[in-house]
Amino acid sequence: MPTRFSHEILVVATENFSRELGKGGFGSVFEGILTDGTKVAVKCINGLSQKKDSFLAEVETIGRIHHLNLKVDVYSFGTVTLEILCGRRNFDLSQREEGIHLLSLFKRKAKEDQMLDLADKCSEDMQLHGAEAVEMMKFDAWCLQNYTGRRPSMSMVIKVLEGLIDVEDNLDYNFFNSSELEATEAVHRGEINVGFASPMLPSILSGPR
């Protein structure tokens, strides 16, 4: 179940329910700010005794929702985070031929145990905290696993970022095969009409940026 807050805490957080955001099926929704600075939306339910069962059913349904595009979302998270760590885009024609595709370069550096070479050399933070950058790259590799079943869920991603669980060991750095890499690069070059390409790869769906 979600975290519970007392009525007194919610009164303070919403400034006595003074900032209304809108109205829902069971009452109005108000903007609130918790003591740690977290912004929240608080629903003030009218006639709870008659609507309690319906409201709890709604909460349970929301908690069970799995977005259809989450694999892809996890894959995209891994790609974007890797771009931040490396200070470059996933597909960059300004790079040397062997480094045009970041994921292909990442695969090679990982196998050579030289992932630190990928850290953004223009970022003082990345250079000062190289060990942490490499650990984050391993986390990205988990999100980029070729088989969707081996990728973490978004809830697991959050737990890793919060330090509650560790990154999976024994990762596969073969993010895609050579034919998939060629297809991805062709799309970025405009050689393939994405509207008719099938099926689209996770690496394609994660762009453009």
Domain boundaries, the chain: 7-64, 70-205
**Residue that has been written with the tokens 């980029």 in this structure:** 144
What's the pLDDT tens digit per position in 105-150?
999 999 999 999 999 999 888 889 999 999 999 999 999 988 888 8
Q: What is the CATH number of domain 7-64?
A: 3.30.200.20
Q: Which residues contact 98 (CB under 8 A, 6 or more apart)?
A: 105, 108
Give the residue among 192, 195, 200 at the shortest CA–CA distance from 176: 200
Report residue 48's pLDDT band, with 50, 70 and 90 as the boundaries.
low
Please answer whether residues 40 and 34 qualify as being in contact, where contact means their C-beta atoms are separated by less than 8 angstroms.
yes
Residue 80, class by beta-carbon neighbours within 10 Å (0-12 exposed, 13-18 middle, 19+ buried)?
A: middle
Please report, to the nearest 10 degrees, the dihedral formed by the alpha carbons of residues 119, 122, 123, 124 taken in order.
Answer: 110
Please answer whether residues 176 and 184 qualify as being in contact, where contact means their C-beta atoms are separated by less than 8 angstroms.
yes
- CATH pick for 70-205 out of 3.40.1190.20, 1.10.3720.10, 1.10.10.10, 1.10.510.10: 1.10.510.10
CA distances from 59 to 26, 52, 62, 142, 154 (A): 12, 11, 5, 30, 19
**Residue 35, H or E segment:** none
Phi, psi of 2 (to 5 degrees): -65, 165
**Residue that has been written with the tokens 């992932």 in this structure:** 115
Instruction: Specify the 3-state DSSP secondary structure of 30.
Output: strand
Mean pLDDT of the chain: 77
pLDDT score of 94 = 87
Is pTM beyond 0.75? Reply is: no
What's the pLDDT tens digit per position in 165-183?
889 888 888 876 444 454 4
